[in-house]
Amino acid sequence: MAGDSLYMRAMFDRDQEQDGELSFRKDDILFVDNTMYQGKRGTWRAWLVDDEGSKLRCGTIPSKARSVGSPAVAAQQGGKRYIRRQRRRRVCHEALQELSNKQCFSL
């Protein structure tokens, strides 16, 4: 089962922790060709691409949802304040979704 594909710009540095993972630097361009790599949620297969869009290296990366809570990412993007802000956004989003669902069911 393949997931979606997309291009994205890296917002932080990431070093390979295990075999098969992709290392990249902030502002690198990545092409994600599978957002459900090996059927796992939160694991994406990505390619580091050059300025012409040619694929250079392939490996797995964490999805945005998994990387937001990472201490390394938090340190690069504003520390604990960034994590709190992301959690607050997620809680607000979930609350709005729940309210919307209740309204739909009451109709």
Query: Under CATH, which architecture does the 1-68 domain have?
Result: Roll (2.30)
Q: Which helix (H) or strand (E) holds 8?
A: strand 6-9
| Tens of pLDDT, residue by residue, the chain (107 residues) | 566 788 999 988 999 888 999 999 999 999 999 888 888 788 899 999 998 889 999 999 988 655 555 555 545 555 555 555 556 666 655 666 665 555 544 44
How buried is residue 73: exposed, middle or buried, by Cβ count under 10 Å (0-12/13-18/19+)?
A: buried
Q: Domains of the chain: which residue ranges?
A: 1-68, 77-107
Determine the pLDDT at residue 36: 84
